[in-house]
């Protein structure tokens, strides 16, 4: 890509360099939403099921159907035999896996085909035929073909096609029902009004099998330059209102309908919007500039340019949640003796409750209650964290000083992770009113809110790199944010596992923990 390529102008670094103020942390900011916007946002509080999740569930269904068909035909035609059961089971499971690959290559898991079972039948037949041909070829070259019944093999292939088609009929009816109920959709907000927005909306509405639901329009221009209603959709507010709207409603995508030539205005908008955990697309249906087809992301038939993507979505989100539950339970079991001993020590050391609860910023800037072992005297606890804990702080108890240095005070957060308000690994949640030199963190660090695009964690990439403990300078919160954003952009389960394994080793460094 050349330096003058217009798409380069909208990179993350370009957006971060734009000279606009970050969103406010004022919790009262949501009151700026007008009555219509509040009503619309309330309608979309429930999460929807994404097409990616549906496709994954159908894959799981297909694998189950193919395997069950093979097993049932084996039991009916050959009978349960300990001598052949293992060999047949290996072939059945392997064959089901090969079928999934050929079905994927045939694009049989695209939403357009999941809605149309009769149209996808030819693809299913072709994919199954290719899969069973590959299986037969493999058994031939491995010289094990004579071990398996040819009649069973042929009937397995035939019944598999019929069973998959029957499953697709049921899936299509379920998808139609969920679509009518608004369960399957990608919820989008239009950024920018006028003729460009109207043209985009008309194209989306005319696009067959489109799963985009437009929830409203936001534009910084007044009604004289941007009409209050576009193609039947109301303008719900300006860009600052959009940020608050997206923190109330479950929104999947923002579509910016501004021409590429309005570079400064686009960058200003993106600087405010990239902190949200949503996909951001730049509509290119009306731009004179044309890029290679693979540069576009299509919404139905409408080409868009991908500016930002949500970091953890669909099955990755499910995998991370399973990871959290499994390791949180393991952590609670492993550290239960330490937690019990700590609770007793806190009770004996000073009067007051064992646990301390503090409001912190969670996913999408929502407030969450985070649990810790109490490390301060009960009458001097600081739930707002306005005053930074410093070395030799007189508010800290004797036991508190030890458990803070060793991070034992954080162990109750395994319950937060188990119940879902925290993740095991992620950006550390900061108190809602946490400050550095009398300035809120969001005022100190440009892009601070982008830390909240994923669920916060008990430990994180910044912590294992030494950025834990007291935040007494602006440089420290800037460094933490830098490492947190790196984690978000490079997330994987292996990365989470690496951080989790490094955490107990790095805890030996207690230099900044008071």
Nearest to 354 by CA among 371, 337, 368: 371
Nearest to 369 by CA among 410, 422, 322: 422
Cα Dmax for the chain: 82
What pLDDT is attached to residue 16? 44
- Please, which pLDDT band fits residue 311 given cuts at 50, 70 and 90? confident
What pLDDT is attached to residue 11? 42
What pLDDT is attached to residue 153? 93
- Please, which pLDDT band fits residue 70 given cuts at 50, 70 and 90? very high
CA dist 473 and 232 (Å) reads 50
CA dist 377 and 380 (Å) reads 5
Q: In the chain, pLDDT over 70 holds for what percent of residues? A: 83
Cα 41 to chain centroid, rounded: 20
Q: Name residues whose C-beta falls within 8 Å of residue 162's C-beta, 6 or more positions apart in sequence.
A: none
Predicted confidence (pLDDT) per residue in 203-219, tens digit: 888 876 677 888 889 98
> Quick check: 416 pLDDT over 90?
yes
> Quick check: 28 pLDDT over 60?
no
What is the mean predicted confidence (pLDDT) over 4-13?
Answer: 41
What is the mean predicted confidence (pLDDT) over 312-339?
Answer: 92
Domain residue spans of the chain = 6-48+185-310, 51-180, 315-506
What pLDDT is attached to residue 105? 93
> Quick check: 40 pLDDT over 50?
yes
Contact 179, 172 (CB under 8 A): no
What pLDDT is attached to residue 4? 40
E strands, 112-232, are 186-191, 212-218, 229-230
The pair of structure tokens assigned to 101 is 């690959």
Predicted confidence (pLDDT) per residue in 351-386, tens digit: 888 988 888 888 887 888 899 998 888 777 766 666
- Please, which pLDDT band fits residue 68 given cuts at 50, 70 and 90? very high
Fold designation for 6-48+185-310:
Rossmann fold (3.40.50)
What pLDDT is attached to residue 1? 39
Other C-beta atoms within 10 Å of 409: how many?
A: 23
What pLDDT is attached to residue 5? 42
Average pLDDT, whole number, for the chain? 81
What pLDDT is attached to residue 385? 63
Predicted confidence (pLDDT) per residue in 93-107, tens digit: 999 999 999 999 998
What pLDDT is attached to residue 262? 67
What is the mean predicted confidence (pLDDT) over 100-124?
Answer: 91
- Please, which pLDDT band fits residue 453 given cuts at 50, 70 and 90? confident
**Backbone φ/ψ region at 55: left (φ over 0), alpha (ψ -120 to 50), beta:** alpha
What pLDDT is attached to residue 29? 43
Contact 442, 265 (CB under 8 A): no
What is the mean predicted confidence (pLDDT) over 9-13?
Answer: 42
Q: Length of the chain in residues, anyone?
A: 514
- DSSP H or E segment with residue 86: helix 85-105
> Quick check: 24 pLDDT over 70?
no
Helix pair 85-105, 150-180: axis angle to 10 deg: 50
Q: Please give the residue that has the higher pLDDT: either 167 or 224.
A: 167
> Quick check: 291 pLDDT over 60?
no
CA dist 81 and 71 (Å) reads 12
């Amino acid at each position: 890509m050349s330096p003058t390529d217009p798409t380069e102008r909208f990179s993350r670094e370009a957006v971060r360099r734009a000279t606009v103020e970050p969103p406010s942390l004022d919790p009262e900011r949501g009151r700026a939403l007008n009555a219509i916007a509040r009503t619309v946002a309330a309608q979309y509080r429930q999460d929807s099921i994404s097409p990616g999740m549906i496709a994954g569930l159908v894959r799981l269904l297909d694998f189950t159907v193919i395997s069950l068909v093979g097993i049932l035909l084996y039991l009916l035609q050959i009978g349960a035999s300990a001598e052949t059961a293992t060999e047949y089971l290996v072939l059945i499971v392997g064959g089901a896996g090969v079928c999934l690959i050929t079905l994927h290559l045939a694009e049989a898991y695209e939403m357009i085909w999941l809605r149309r079972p009769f149209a996808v039948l030819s693809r299913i037949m072709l994919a199954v035929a290719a899969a069973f041909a590959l299986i037969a070829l493999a058994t031939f070259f491995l010289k094990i073909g004579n071990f398996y019944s040819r009649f069973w093999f042929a009937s397995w292939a035939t019944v598999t096609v019929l069973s998959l088609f029957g499953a697709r009929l049921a899936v299509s009816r379920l998808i139609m029902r969920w679509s009518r109920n608004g369960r399957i959709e990608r919820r989008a907000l239009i950024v920018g009004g006028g003729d460009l927005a109207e043209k985009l909306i008309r194209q989306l509405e005319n696009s067959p099998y489109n799963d985009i639901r437009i929830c409203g329009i936001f534009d910084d221009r007044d009604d004289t330059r941007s009409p209050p209603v576009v193609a039947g959709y109301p303008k719900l507010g300006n860009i600052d209102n959009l940020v608050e709207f997206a923190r109330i409603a479950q929104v999947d995508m923002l579509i910016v309908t501004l021409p590429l030539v309005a570079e400064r205005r686009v960058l200003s908008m993106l600087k405010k919007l990239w902190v949200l955990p949503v996909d951001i697309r730049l509509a290119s249906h009306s731009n004179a500039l044309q890029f290679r087809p693979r540069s576009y992301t299509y919404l139905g038939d409408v080409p868009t340019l991908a500016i930002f993507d949500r970091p953890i979505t669909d099955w990755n989100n499910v995998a991370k949640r399973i990871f959290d539950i499994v390791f949180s339970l393991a952590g609670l079991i492993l550290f239960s003796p330490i937690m019990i001993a700590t609770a007793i020590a806190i009770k004996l050391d000073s009067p007051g409750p064992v646990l301390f609860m503090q409001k912190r910023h969670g996913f999408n800037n929502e407030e969450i209650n985070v649990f810790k072992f109490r490390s301060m005297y009960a009458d001097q606890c600081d739930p707002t964290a306005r005053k930074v804990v410093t070395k030799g702080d007189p508010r800290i108890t004797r036991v508190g000083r030890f458990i803070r240095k060793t991070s034992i005070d954080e162990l109750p957060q395994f319950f937060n992770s188990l119940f879902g308000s925290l993740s095991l690994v992620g950006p550390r949640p900061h108190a809602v009113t946490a400050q550095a030199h009398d300035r809120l963190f969001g005022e100190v660090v440009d892009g601070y809110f982008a830390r909240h695009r994923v669920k916060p964690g008990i430990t994180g990439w910044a912590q294992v790199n030494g950025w834990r403990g007291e935040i007494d300078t602006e440089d420290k919160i800037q460094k933490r944010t830098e490492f947190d954003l790196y984690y978000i952009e490079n997330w994987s389960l292996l990365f989470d596992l690496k951080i989790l394994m490094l955490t107990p080793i790095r805890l030996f460094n207690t230099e900044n923990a008071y």
